[in-house]
Structure 1
Amino acid sequence: MGRNLGLRLLKLIPALIEVLSFLVFPACAVAATGAELIQANCVGCHIPDGEGRLSHIANQRKTPEGWLMTITRMQLIHQLNINALDSADPVSEMVKHLADAQGLAPAESQPFRYILERRLNTIENLDDEHFAGVCSRCHTGARAALQRRNEEEWTRLIHFHLGQYPSIEYSSGGRDREWFKFALNEVVPWLTEHFPLESPAWSEWREAAKPVQTGAWRVIGTMPGRGEFAGYIEAEETAKDRYTVKFRGEFDSGEALQGEGDAIVYTGYEWRASLSLGNGEYRQVLAGSADGATMQGRMYLLDHEETGMDLTATRIAGSRLLAVTPNRIRAGTSAQVRLSGFGLEGEITSDPGLKVISIVEQGTDGAVVEIQSDADAAPGVRTIKFGGSALSPALTVYPKIDYIKVLPEVAMARVGGNGGSQTPVNAAFEAWGWSNGADGAANTEDDLRIGVFPATWSVHAWDEVAEKGDDVRYAGVIDPATGVFTSPAAGPNPDRPGGVNNFGNLAVVAEVKDGETTVRGEAHLMVTVQRWNNPPLR
């Protein structure tokens, strides 16, 4: 009888599990929440305390990308098998919950947004030895700075690093000191002080009302290699913090870019959108303002993160003049410029020294006008007014271009493709014109930054070694009109001496015409091998 009872109980186990699941996670038309998914997937290792706070998890705050990396690490290292319950995308739901409940305030993420926006050629300025000597020798300082922990969790992170990467004490930057002692006694207190778990900024943001991003937005942007852009975003909320997005606009050249996609807002301000625009798949990473009036950041191609657009989206309400492009005019000349905004009506005027001499076209979203600058107009920025809306600075008046800065000044590109798993990483450059200030010397504080100029682009060997290796021939090509550098194929090249890879050390040259004069500027481009580990935060 006991054996038969046992068999009957075994047959009931599936039904019992179903009942228990119903008790823990009630079945309903709504999919499992992020909190429920965390309970289902995390409590096996992370023990709740008396208040239900999960060990380790409760004492950290991160960006959406940071929490995604944490969950991914649990899957890769600890073989976490995600229990989806009834969620179509359980990882996304867990990231959403964690970023909302334990994210970063806008003021906390702002200094380090370059890593979220995939600005690959950013050179960090980390003077503190705790960052430079410990954190940023293996990854960016921003990766650590976009976390918040209490002292216990910062200590655990040091232990984790040593356990997971035991060579950390002996590699460059570690073997010149007692690394473990320095990390525990010096770095942990510093991190706890500068990136604490609790902060006034987070307390205020956590309690603040969060704006809804539904509505129409005017977009102003610029993309190296393609120029200035003006367009629109239309966002419609389909569920809390989830939107369908329509995007449309055109560059000053007349080239259109449009499409649609979806967006999620994390932590009340972190806008992440996936869009199909033209023939490309784009990712938008924007930070919304506390009042819900603007969103600012970058969007980039998913398969070429180095190719992207800096953009600002302004909610359409009232009348605003947002941009004048190009935003420069040489004294004593005339230029055709485009004014972009919304709700614009009335007369177009400017500061003394500038005069609108003709209107090519005009509408409520902008105008194209011809502007004349007086020959004796003083160098500096000017205001443009469109009816009751004024933009300052709108135009920069300059006497001449004294020198060119090519940006980025130092860039890195990578070989790729050719049957490998990593696509090439290209690079794009801009030629920024400057005028000397009153002291007549270049690169001093009183110099006037004018703006971006069209240029003729070329490359040459950076040094004698690059010249001897014929790097210009093998290490990629630059578009002479746009400044976009295309990296070469990966793999040993049998046509190159020694059969080596297509790496190179190049100088990027911009030549800008300024009247009868040509002004040159240079930047440094290193073409190197693939990067195989490309997490969201690097």
Structure 2
Amino acid sequence: MALSNNNSKRAALGTGVLALAGLVSAPLMAQDAQQIIRDRCLACHTETGTADAPSFSRISEQRKTPEGWHMTLNRMIHLRDLQISTEEKRALVKYLSDTQGLAPEETEGYRYLLEQDTNLVETGIEPGLAEMCARCHSGARFTLQRRSEQEWKYLVDFHMGQFPTTELHSLARDRQWFEIARNDTAGQLAKQFPLHTKAWSNWKAADKSDLMGRWRVTGYVPGKGEFDAWMSAAKTANGKYDLTLEGHYADGEVLEGSGKATVYTGYEWRASLTIDGVKMRQVMAADKAGNTLEGRMFMAAEREIGGDLMAVRDQGTADLVALSPSYLRVGESTEITLVGQNLNGDIDLGEGVTVEKIVSRSKDRITVIAKASGAEGLRSPRVGKAVHNAGLAVYEELARVEVSPANAVTRIGGADGNMPKVRASYRAIGYSAGADGQAGTDDDIRLGYMPASWSIKPADEVAAHDKDDKYAGMINAAGIFVPGDAGPNTARKMDANNVGRLTVVASVEDGSSQVSGEGSMLVSVQDFVRRVLD
């Protein structure tokens, strides 16, 4: 694989993605997990309730994602000297996620944190919570929790006990932070993110689908490109699976991998695989029917290097899952690959689109040469009974290009130091202007990811004066940015290090013209807080 297989162990504090796909040596029942709590936790916590419905102080009053529970146990281990084996820890994360997790609706809009897709600027956080909580945490951090009001107050108390300088920080020292947080903010959090919700009650009562079987998978690996594959999930225990992955990248190169997956809360898929010799992680969510998985796959050693991932269960019916590319320029003959399963019957790419030649065809992959005429717009390709709604965009002219991510942070490193470089991966998204002919409006048609030429330039006059584009790093042909070395650089003014502020430029060829888009890049210092806790 073209990606660097960096074996250094790096992960965000408490995210737990590296451990959540591990297997417990033997499947444990709920009673076993409860007994682990009694054996390992009751030195500090207390048990109430009944034998049939036990309750544990400070535990039963919370609901969290698998990563949230993993973080809690890590904190108990490292701050409270909890003695617990890896097998017991995994069993508790599984049990607590299944019995005190979040419903699918409760994670919507914030899954980027679970998927480790963190090069983005959060929006929509309530101003009060942004000032009191999101000045240190991501908004998704507290949004992906549910607590009783008393537990939210206890959380404020914990902050003051564990981090007494909190009141001296920016946006805290100009107000009575503790009083506001405990008397006002805790109540607001309890109303917005309560312990008891209808969504969770309904999900607990719902029948959960077993996710074993064959899955048609499509995704993207930076440095390798788009791929399609078959993933087989063989059940080994409750919510646990052995995985095999076989497929091809868009250039025809073979993709092979194997690993293990654990499903939490009935829909939270966490997998650890080795693909073409590189350790990868999958974080996906199943739909309520259990027939579709969507999320992200990324390198275990570098969570920033990853891409979208989708899997559709093979139910014996015809499914058209994806098209590559997902756009067709009017008047041009283009090779398009249709990916799916049980693809039998006539090929119809939509109004005004002619299939000029079938290059290759099987039941799960068809490559054709197609040409479009007529008006711009979205088409719904069809193969027999399989339809991909609005899956093909027909356009006349590329109007604008977006760079994704729009904002990113990378970090210098290496140079014989203990902290590796933190890279970033970019993609270009094309748009046509739509019916109004004005680029940048709601009428624009998203064409999809497009091949681009990549370059960097200084973000402003100061960055140009400091020659940040010369020292801060470089971007390769695949859109992967590699920051500079850590440590002082004698070639820079005052022997400064290689941090900098850059603009990342994607240039896309469209007929005889070229359209460019820009993204923002901050090349920063090492993150000395970031470490592995498991």
Establish whether TM, by shorter chain, passes 0.5. Answer: yes
Of 225, 238, 242 in structure 2, the residue corresponding to residue 240 of structure 1 is 238
- Counterpart secondary structure, 2:391: strand
1:46-445 equivalences in 2 (<5 Å): 46-51=45-50, 52-82=54-84, 84=85, 89-317=87-315, 318-374=317-373, 377-445=374-442
- Counterpart secondary structure, 2:388: strand
Residue aligning to 1:512: 508
1:31-42 equivalences in 2 (<5 Å): 33-42=32-41
CA contact (8 A) 2:222 2:307 kept: yes
Greater relative contact order (CA < 8 Å, ≥ 6 in sequence): 2
Residue aligning to 2:483: 487
Residue aligning to 1:527: 523
Deviation per residue, 1:189-243 (Å, 9 max, x gap): 1110111001001101111111111110000113444332211110011111111
Query: For 1:534 and 1:36, how far apart are their aligned partners in 2?
Result: 33
Describe the shift of the 1:168–1:194 C-alpha distance in structure 2 as closer, same or farther (beyond 3 A).
same
Whether 2:455 is the aligned partner of 1:458: answer yes
Residue aligning to 2:493: 497
CA contact (8 A) 2:409 2:524 kept: yes
Residue aligning to 1:25: none
How far off its partner does 1:126 sit?
Answer: 3.2
Deviation per residue, 1:384-426 (Å, 9 max, x gap): 1101111121211111112222121111111122333332111
Paired AA for residue 418 in structure 2 = S
CA contact (8 A) 1:410 1:525 kept: yes
Paired AA for residue 383 in structure 2 = F
Paired AA for residue 427 in structure 2 = E
Deviation per residue, 1:295-339 (Å, 9 max, x gap): 111111011111112111110011101111101111111111000
Paired AA for residue 457 in structure 1 = W
Query: For 2:235 and 2:283, how far apart are their aligned partners in 1?
Result: 18
Deviation per residue, 1:408-462 (Å, 9 max, x gap): 1111111122333332111111222222234332211212222222111111111
Deviation per residue, 1:87-134 (Å, 9 max, x gap): x61111111111111111111112211000000212111341232101
Describe the shift of the 1:514–1:461 C-alpha distance in structure 2 as closer, same or farther (beyond 3 A).
same
CA contact (8 A) 1:126 1:141 kept: no
Query: For 2:437 and 2:356, how far apart are their aligned partners in 1?
Result: 32
Deviation per residue, 1:237-274 (Å, 9 max, x gap): 11111111111222212233221111111111111111
Paired AA for residue 371 in structure 1 = A
Describe the shift of the 1:92–1:342 C-alpha distance in structure 2 as closer, same or farther (beyond 3 A).
same
CA contact (8 A) 1:461 1:505 kept: yes
CA contact (8 A) 2:352 2:372 kept: yes
What is the RMSD computed on CA atoms of the aligned residues? 1.8
Query: For 1:306 and 1:483, how far apart are their aligned partners in 2?
Result: 13
Query: For 2:342 and 2:375, how far apart are their aligned partners in 1?
Result: 31
Residue aligning to 1:12: none
- Counterpart secondary structure, 1:118: coil
Query: For 2:220 and 2:405, how far apart are their aligned partners in 1?
Result: 15
Residue aligning to 1:471: 468
| Larger CA deviation: 143-152 vs 446-455 | 446-455
How far off its partner does 1:147 sit?
Answer: 0.8
Query: For 1:249 and 1:122, how far apart are their aligned partners in 2?
Result: 31
CA contact (8 A) 1:436 1:447 kept: yes
1:5-24 equivalences in 2 (<5 Å): none
Paired AA for residue 61 in structure 1 = R
How far off its partner does 1:536 sit?
Answer: 8.8
Deviation per residue, 1:11-45 (Å, 9 max, x gap): xxxxxxxxxxxxxxxxxx97783222111101111
Query: For 1:225 and 1:278, how far apart are their aligned partners in 2?
Result: 13
Residue aligning to 2:8: none
CA contact (8 A) 1:346 1:387 kept: yes
Answer 1 or 2: which has greater helix percent: 1
CA contact (8 A) 1:63 1:146 kept: yes
**Aligned residue pairs, count:** 502
How far off its partner does 1:69 sit?
Answer: 0.8
Task: Tell me the percent identity.
Answer: 42
Paired AA for residue 424 in structure 2 = A
- Counterpart secondary structure, 1:392: coil
